[in-house]
């Protein structure tokens, strides 16, 4: 995609600090560094979001995320690690080229995601599950 910053990074048209590369994925340091060691794992072939991934990309991006996560753990010894991936503006996505955030975490590090649980009755869960199952390919 001509106007996509991560496509430009993949094409080496703009610089990035790369930590890992394979056939389908490129992992590089997030320029914002929510915590030291914050990495993005992106697919190489442009996909706007998770909905646009083919199976090979989907498998490869999580394989790379797991590999790089282990390296972050060993290099930074964080107390935890958050895996974050946004699809669409409403979900907080700002770069519309699929990527997974790997964020080393520490107690009280200021990173927050509110989690407004609704705890619906079981019938609702069954209804929601049936709607999803009817669409699974
Ligand atoms: P998201 O909100 O999930 O789409 O996250 C986009 C992320 O891309 C942000 O955390 C930015 O700091 C990061 N980012 C944007 N431009 C660059 C860049 N040129 N190199 C590295 N990270 C970038
Ligand atoms: Zn792109």
* Annotated catalytic residue, options 24, 38, 97, 99: 99
pLDDT per residue as tens digits for the range 33-43: 999 999 999 99
Residue whose CA is closest, atom 13 of ligand 1?
30
Query: Ligand 2 centre from 132 Cα, in Å?
Result: 28
- SS3 label, residue 118: coil
Residue whose CA is closest, atom 12 of ligand 1?
32
Task: Check residue 3 and give its pLDDT.
Answer: 95
Query: Any idea of the CA torsion for 49, 23, 25, 64, to the nearest 10 degrees?
Result: 120
| 20 annotated active-site | no
- SS3 label, residue 74: helix
Which alpha helices (H) appear in the chain, and where do they start and end? 5-10, 55-76, 122-133
Query: Ligand 2 centre from 114 Cα, in Å?
Result: 29
Contacts 24+ apart (CB under 8 A), 85-94: 85/50, 87/49, 87/50, 87/51, 88/49, 93/49
pLDDT per residue as tens digits for the range 20-60: 999 999 999 999 999 999 999 999 999 999 999 999 999 99
pLDDT per residue as tens digits for the range 65-121: 999 999 999 999 999 999 999 999 999 999 999 999 999 999 999 999 899 999 999
């Amino acid at each position: 995609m001509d106007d996509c910053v991560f496509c430009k990074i993949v094409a080496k048209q703009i610089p990035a600090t790369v930590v890992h590369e394979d056939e389908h994925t490129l992992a590089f340091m997030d320029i914002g560094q929510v915590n030291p060691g914050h990495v993005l794992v992106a697919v190489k072939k442009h996909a706007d979001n998770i909905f646009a991934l083919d199976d090979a990309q989907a498998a490869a991006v999580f394989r790379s995320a797991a590999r790089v996560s282990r390296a972050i753990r060993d290099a930074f010894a964080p107390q935890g690690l958050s895996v974050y991936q946004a699809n669409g503006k409403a979900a907080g996505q700002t770069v519309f080229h699929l990527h997974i955030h790997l964020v080393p975490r520490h107690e009280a590090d200021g990173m927050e995601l509110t989690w407004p649980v609704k705890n619906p009755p079981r019938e609702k869960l069954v209804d929601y599950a049936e709607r999803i199952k009817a669409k699974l390919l």
